[in-house]
Structure 1
Amino acid sequence: MFNSRVYPILVPLQSALVLCMDVGFSMSNSSPGEESPFDLSKKVIQKFVQRQVFAETKDEVALVLFGTDATKNPLEQDEQYQNIVVHRHLMVPDFDLLEEIEHQIQPEGQQADWLDALVVCMDLLQKETQGKKCDRLNIVLLTDLCTQVSPDKLEVIIENLKQAEITLQFFLPFPVEDAEEGHGDGEQRDPGHPGAGKGLSREQQSGLEMVKHIMLSLDEEDGLNEVYTFRNAIEQLRMFKRIERRPMAWPCQLTVGSSLSIRIVGYKAVTEEKLKKMWITVDAQSNQREDVKKETVYCLDDDNETEVQKEDIIQGFRYGSDIVPFSKVDQEQMKYKHDGKSFAVLGFTKQNLVLRHQFMGSQVVKIFPPKDDEHAGVALSALIRALDELKMVAIVRYAYDRRSNPQVGAAFPCIKQTYECLIYVQLPFMEDLRPFAFPSLENNKKICPSETQLSAVDSFIDSMMLEEKDENGELIDLLKPHHIPNPAFQRHFQCLHHRAVNPGAPLPPLEPWLQAKLDRPEVIKERCQASLEEIKRKFPLTEVEKKKKLKTSAQIFGKDSKEASAEKGKEDEAEEEYNLADIAEGSVTSVGSVDPARDFRTLLKQKSLPFGEACQQLTHRIEQLLSNKNTQYYMKSITCIQAFKEQSVKMANADLYNSYLQSLKRSIPSRGLEVFWDLLVQDGVTLISSEEVSGSLISKNEANEFLKAEEIKQEAAAPQAEDTGDVDDLLDMM
């Protein structure tokens, strides 16, 4: 049987709200060391308007002040409704209102009847909402109730509030509960309670009785729940409001094979929330967008910087040393083309085979039948209930429209008391999975932990568990993610508001309440101290001083280079330290093109290739890099040459390196690599001298002179063809 369902509301109605704030002289009175009621009430309306501005709602807000020196409202006549000002009429709140609250609203020197201010707010709401579709009319009144109020019009006001369906909220500097306990003049309230201090005056007691009468007349059961204290309101309003988005309907056909088709409508249930950053470039002095003019010019990379028109430019992708042109026509032809929106069932599988870590994408879509199609509702309900009974999911092909690429995903059955639906979650393709395999850490005896060390870490993990037992012995969570706002959003909005109202001041620090939310709970801090001390004892840290490398006998007396290399290798192996990066990079079999210097060092460390063959592979990569006349490739080549020299010194074999560098220098003019040679000279990469390797035939002076540029006589002859014979001969020799 077709069940009734709850569908998302597509067109939310706006609400209208009037903030009515007391700015009379009594609001500035406070006990020493406490904030005045005026400061607290100003914070309340600031926080509320901030939330409305950053939530980008269409709700309209007005601001009425009473207790002002001036009078400006539509009802002022015959000395009535005095000292009441309509500061701002109903409109969507913006940064201008925030700036006015910050700088223009100040304590004033008069007192006004808060019932008169309430009547002005009611009149403003009724007149300025005519012709508008508002789902809620609300008045928020912030006062300390210190003024004498005439109750003559009280019943008329209550009746008008009911007829106009206006809801009312009061914000006071003291809680209603304290007043109900019978505090009179001179009596002291609990000093730990917010708003503690002197007892209520006669005016406040009388005003509070009227407040309770109004609220209970409007709502007998929950009327007093709409009376708040300033401090409680600030605590509840300190988090910025979540941006509300209107769900858009996505009509489509759910197909199972070629013969079964069901009309459906999809709504985004969960999606990634992103900040609306409308950054624009403005002049730093005038802050005006019009003062900044942008002009883009395309030029060739030649001596004259020849200008090129935008129409003559296409995209190009680097493939090795070549540039592959790729025009917009090519891009359009490359795009995957399909028939448009789709929600086709490809098959079914068990729910336990679709693992949680395989969920992808940034959204979850709920699938309902159309509201006016009972047959589609019956068919979709049957599919949902069948999937639920069999504990299965549908694997579907999802395409939002013709322009988007299709996805593969899982449609889970969801049955609630008020509705049924399918919940779609994107799944990965084969190429999206990255199965990484890492060697076991237990194979290295040098770092294998002992049983006592493992036990210490286990106890530390247990002490950091974010749960504790309550009074009934049941485990409760210490960290409640649903109660923690996104700190990036909160900080962003805090800084935006501060910069809007204080353009020249530095940004404020992170708000204390948000910092407290991000810190570890105090219970966890205390609980893990003992475990941390145990870990310090079980895993002592000692500073390791590297010993200076002494010259070997081979370097002093000129022993056979192979024997010296073998001894050197044993010494390096003994001093080799454990490195997680070496394990992760796996086995290197040749000098690659991504990081040839690292591959060269790894090959020599693993001793998987003879030194001469590894050098040949490295110089081959250097020649490939130098064929791309680009600074980026030049720097990569220099890194390779530095690695070549470093390893040659370690192996006490300078011949191959010196021969290659000398032949490379001879080929510089004919190959046009002067820029590369200048970079090499700047880095001071020269030949290996006999002081570095005893078998070298190059003296210290010759190595220093090697980098000095040779004066080449320019002859008026035709340029010779590129000659890399010396380099090729050297590669053949190696």
Structure 2
Amino acid sequence: MAPRIDQGTIIVLDIGRNVASSEEKIGNSFFLNAKECTARILERKVMTQAKNYVGVILLGSKITNNSMADQCEGAFRHIEVLAPLQTPTWQMIRDLPNEPSKRKGDWFDALIVAADQFKQIEEVNILNKKIILMTNFQAPSQIDEDQVEMVLKGFKEENFEVDVIGLDIYDQCHKGDDIDLARHFVQTTKGASASFEYTKQYLLFQRQKATKAVPWHSELSFGPNVKIPISSYIRLKDEPVVKTWKKAVKDPVTSTSSTTEGVMKNNTNQSNADDIVKGYHYGQQIIPLSDCDKTMLYESGVKSLSVYGFTHASNIKWQNLNGDGLSYVFGKKDDKKAQYAVRCLVECLHELKLVGIVRRVYNNGNAPKMYVLTPVIDTNDFVCLSMIAICFKEDIKNMAFPQTKQKKFACTEEQVSAFKDLIKAMDLTSAYDDTFDDTEAFPIAETVSPTAQYVLDCIAYRAMNPGKSLPQPRDEIMSLFKMPPTIEKRSRDPIDKLKKMLNLKKVEPKQKRRNQTQYHIPTPTVIHAADPNHTNEEINFPKVQVPISNSKSVAHIGTVDPVNDFQTLFRNGKSLVDLAPDMTKAIENLIYCNLDGNYSKAFNTLAYFRNECVKVDPSPYNTWLQTFKSALNSYNKKIDVCDKMLEKKLGLILKKENNLSTFDVEISHEDSQLYENDTMPYDTELSVRPEVNGLFDEI
């Protein structure tokens, strides 16, 4: 059976005298526009790497090179088959002519030559056959009505599709017998016609290869007895622009690359295979893994999708989601019972506002991952489950932010209305007027990735220009980063209004100060003890630059004397907000790095820092303390540290302790007691028996 090819395309490019001159005073000629479109079509065919065949025929060439001219003497002249039907290559683009010729060819004969090219391909089965004609029809064709009907009949039998690019033949301004005949061909073969402007706009960005979705089959199991056959399809996936790269060796003489050659390295330190133990990098250390250790590794089991339980949909936040894509889960195809069971499950989850937590093993031996199943009901016929990965406990980072419900963050009604006006002005759904096809800017599922497009442009440019440096991104790519002009114009007044209302301060980035140490060049003197009457005199020794030690200069807060360092930096002009990160870091180091269980130095520093925050601003202390107590959850001496902090009354700073009227913290007495008694209010403490803890004392 012959291999199947999805599409075969033959481009008929007119390079005759009739396309050499420009119809407009300013602009490219028809030949240059046609050549550019041909190059872009070939480039897209190469980049998609689809199962396509492409051929190029030159109309109006200096020479005649086609099989039909060999069969019919004196006919089909000035038609050259530049590239027969084959897999598209970069060489096809390089072989395109740079200048038009002084000959003219018959475009109708070129269509017959293109159809003959498809008949010569017998070793493959081409499903879709397309002929793209690029000519301005300024060279009249020798039309025979009987021949036209015979050719049209053959085109319909072979399912050819004829497209005309360059002139929109459906435009009423283009008239003539050739235009009418071309329109008849396009309509009969169900083709299309477009101008160069529309075609270039369509070819601006690279398209992904159209692939058929391959399902992942498994069973959705509820315990050991209930199992539903399902099929999972990838809806969205974060993939690299180029999935696989082939390594090639470049010849410095010919500047050509080869994928069949390589560089051989001589390893002088050869070892026996029996003496080699494989290992894994863990940080900067290599951990060996012997065959005996492999038998003790965790086995995830066979391919499966197991339901662990159900929870309310509100418990799954966006920050809990993980993974690199989204999948849809349906009942297995051709299994009506499975489809009905999945539909019932979706409707029940939607009605009860629940989601399912499942454990997925993609294949035998792969690491398991946890996913959340969410009901999706788009239409009556489209009912499924969306599956997306969720984080494990180790992947979740608890971050405490300062409260915004304070007087200094409060906004007036006038400021709130100004913000609403700015949001309305920056509405992307109405970024353009009625002159555009779509009034929305950057629509979802239609906006291309600038990074991916630039990578593909670089690949195409490097293929055509091996020795040149990569170009800058195109203007079309850079336009994706720019604000639409209508949005910019509408938002100008609301932004100016907000600037007048808000007391804005320009934040300048802090420049790193280099430690400029002053060097002193001492003048050496020598005392002659043998001659008491000899006075001291200066001797010219070699000068050595010795840095003057300045014991009073403090750059940061350390763990040796953190209180003294804090006082020194505070006197030098640093604020409490700037010193708080260094101070809290020093306190954490004193607690984490403690070995004898005596935290007196750490608690003294903590008490001093708390008193300073009570005087100035309690927010740095309260914010850090909540985060620190959460981090102590994984610390083995958590109970000792927390108990001692309660004994020394080093908890959160309450509102009544601060005397400043401008400070307003919304912390109730119940909240403060809650944080005093439990560092993680939402965690479940596990009680471990003393004899179990005793097992680890001797380790």
2:254 is the counterpart of 1:260: no
> What's the Cα RMSD here?
4.2
Structure 1 stretches of 5 or more lacking a match? Answer: 1-10, 182-199, 300-306, 549-553, 556-564, 597-602, 611-734
Give the match for residue 15 of structure 2.
23
Going from structure 1 to structure 2, the CA distance change for 1:281 and 1:332 (only over 3 Å counts) comes to: farther
Is this contact kept in 2: 1:370–1:377, CA < 8 A? yes
Q: Quote how far apart the aligned CAs of 1:516 are.
A: 1.4
Count residues in correspondence: 537
Going from structure 1 to structure 2, the CA distance change for 1:384 and 1:607 (only over 3 Å counts) comes to: closer
Q: Quote how far apart the aligned CAs of 1:288 are.
A: 4.0
Q: Quote how far apart the aligned CAs of 1:428 are.
A: 1.9
Counterpart among 98, 102, 113 of residue 106 in structure 2: 113
Give the match for residue 81 of structure 1.
76
- TM-score in terms of structure 1 length: 0.64
Counterpart among 264, 278, 291 of residue 245 in structure 2: 278
Deviation string, structure 1 residues 278-315 (Cα, Å, up to 9, x no partner):
1525246144457752427487xxxxxxx766764546
Q: Quote how far apart the aligned CAs of 1:119 are.
A: 0.6
Going from structure 1 to structure 2, the CA distance change for 1:217 and 1:283 (only over 3 Å counts) comes to: closer
Matches within 5 A, 1:127-166: 127-128=120-121, 130=122, 132-152=124-144, 153-166=147-160
Percentage of identical aligned residues: 20
Is this contact kept in 2: 1:342–1:399, CA < 8 A? yes
Is this contact kept in 2: 1:149–1:207, CA < 8 A? yes
Going from structure 1 to structure 2, the CA distance change for 1:295 and 1:582 (only over 3 Å counts) comes to: farther
Counterpart among 479, 489, 504 of residue 539 in structure 1: 504
Q: 2-side partners of 1:452 and 1:419: how far apart?
A: 45
2:385 is the counterpart of 1:422: yes
Q: Quote how far apart the aligned CAs of 1:154 are.
A: 1.6
Q: 2-side partners of 1:397 and 1:273: how far apart?
A: 23
2:181 is the counterpart of 1:210: yes
Going from structure 1 to structure 2, the CA distance change for 1:247 and 1:542 (only over 3 Å counts) comes to: closer
Matching residue's letter, 1:293: V
Is this contact kept in 2: 1:316–1:323, CA < 8 A? no
Q: Quote how far apart the aligned CAs of 1:500 are.
A: 1.4
**Which is worse superposed, 457-466 or 251-260?**
457-466
2:394 is the counterpart of 1:431: yes
2:344 is the counterpart of 1:398: no
Going from structure 1 to structure 2, the CA distance change for 1:232 and 1:254 (only over 3 Å counts) comes to: same
Going from structure 1 to structure 2, the CA distance change for 1:382 and 1:482 (only over 3 Å counts) comes to: closer
2:208 is the counterpart of 1:242: yes
Matching residue's letter, 2:79: I
Deviation string, structure 1 residues 534-588 (Cα, Å, up to 9, x no partner):
6666324499999x9xxxxx99xxxxxxxxx989937734711465794598453
Q: 2-side partners of 1:336 and 1:582: how far apart?
A: 44
Q: 1-side partners of 2:565 and 2:373: how far apart?
A: 65
Q: 2-side partners of 1:163 and 1:568: how far apart?
A: 90
Q: 2-side partners of 1:441 and 1:380: how far apart?
A: 44
Is this contact kept in 1: 2:159–2:189, CA < 8 A? no
Q: 2-side partners of 1:97 and 1:331: how far apart?
A: 56
Going from structure 1 to structure 2, the CA distance change for 1:368 and 1:150 (only over 3 Å counts) comes to: same
Going from structure 1 to structure 2, the CA distance change for 1:148 and 1:176 (only over 3 Å counts) comes to: closer
Residue aligned with 2:150, SS: helix
Q: Quote how far apart the aligned CAs of 1:518 are.
A: 2.0
Q: 1-side partners of 2:592 and 2:475: how far apart?
A: 47
Matching residue's letter, 1:265: S
Going from structure 1 to structure 2, the CA distance change for 1:143 and 1:328 (only over 3 Å counts) comes to: farther
Give the match for residue 341 of structure 2.
379
**Which is worse superposed, 500-509 or 401-410?**
500-509
Q: Quote how far apart the aligned CAs of 1:71 are.
A: 0.8
Q: 2-side partners of 1:142 and 1:567: how far apart?
A: 79
Deviation string, structure 1 residues 477-517 (Cα, Å, up to 9, x no partner):
43324332111121111111112112233322221122112
2:361 is the counterpart of 1:363: no
Counterpart among 574, 577, 599 of residue 576 in structure 1: 574
Q: 1-side partners of 2:274 and 2:301: how far apart?
A: 32
Q: Quote how far apart the aligned CAs of 1:389 are.
A: 4.3
Going from structure 1 to structure 2, the CA distance change for 1:368 and 1:580 (only over 3 Å counts) comes to: farther
Q: Quote how far apart the aligned CAs of 1:40 are.
A: 0.7
Going from structure 1 to structure 2, the CA distance change for 1:450 and 1:324 (only over 3 Å counts) comes to: same
Is this contact kept in 2: 1:298–1:309, CA < 8 A? no
Is this contact kept in 1: 2:431–2:486, CA < 8 A? no
Matching residue's letter, 1:237: L
Q: 1-side partners of 2:422 and 2:499: how far apart?
A: 11
Residue aligned with 1:361, SS: coil
Is this contact kept in 2: 1:283–1:292, CA < 8 A? no
Q: 2-side partners of 1:285 and 1:125: how far apart?
A: 41
2:483 is the counterpart of 1:520: yes
Q: Quote how far apart the aligned CAs of 1:451 are.
A: 6.2
**Which is worse superposed, 53-62 or 416-425?**
416-425
Is this contact kept in 2: 1:251–1:265, CA < 8 A? yes
Give the match for residue 51 of structure 1.
44
Give the match for residue 719 of structure 1.
none
Q: 1-side partners of 2:606 and 2:474: how far apart?
A: 58
Matches within 5 A, 1:626-637: none
Matching residue's letter, 1:16: G
Q: 2-side partners of 1:507 and 1:246: how far apart?
A: 34
2:229 is the counterpart of 1:229: no
Counterpart among 283, 287, 293 of residue 263 in structure 2: 293
Deviation string, structure 1 residues 215-272 (Cα, Å, up to 9, x no partner):
33345xxx6xx11111211110111011334433322222122221222233323222
Going from structure 1 to structure 2, the CA distance change for 1:589 and 1:363 (only over 3 Å counts) comes to: same
Matching residue's letter, 1:366: Y
Q: Quote how far apart the aligned CAs of 1:454 are.
A: 6.7
Q: 2-side partners of 1:595 and 1:42: how far apart?
A: 71
Going from structure 1 to structure 2, the CA distance change for 1:317 and 1:258 (only over 3 Å counts) comes to: closer
Residue aligned with 2:375, SS: strand
Q: Quote how far apart the aligned CAs of 1:165 are.
A: 1.0
Counterpart among 452, 462, 473 of residue 499 in structure 1: 462
Going from structure 1 to structure 2, the CA distance change for 1:116 and 1:573 (only over 3 Å counts) comes to: same
Is this contact kept in 2: 1:283–1:291, CA < 8 A? no
2:34 is the counterpart of 1:41: yes
Q: 1-side partners of 2:20 and 2:347: how far apart?
A: 64
Q: 1-side partners of 2:44 and 2:233: how far apart?
A: 26
Deviation string, structure 1 residues 587-611 (Cα, Å, up to 9, x no partner):
5325469999xxxxxx99x95599x
Give the match for residue 732 of structure 1.
none
- TM-score in terms of structure 2 length: 0.67
Going from structure 1 to structure 2, the CA distance change for 1:382 and 1:590 (only over 3 Å counts) comes to: closer
Q: 2-side partners of 1:495 and 1:508: how far apart?
A: 7
Counterpart among 337, 340, 344 of residue 306 in structure 2: 344
Q: Quote how far apart the aligned CAs of 1:386 are.
A: 3.5
Residue aligned with 1:242, SS: coil
Is this contact kept in 2: 1:439–1:583, CA < 8 A? no
Q: 2-side partners of 1:319 and 1:38: how far apart?
A: 61
Q: Quote how far apart the aligned CAs of 1:109 are.
A: 1.7
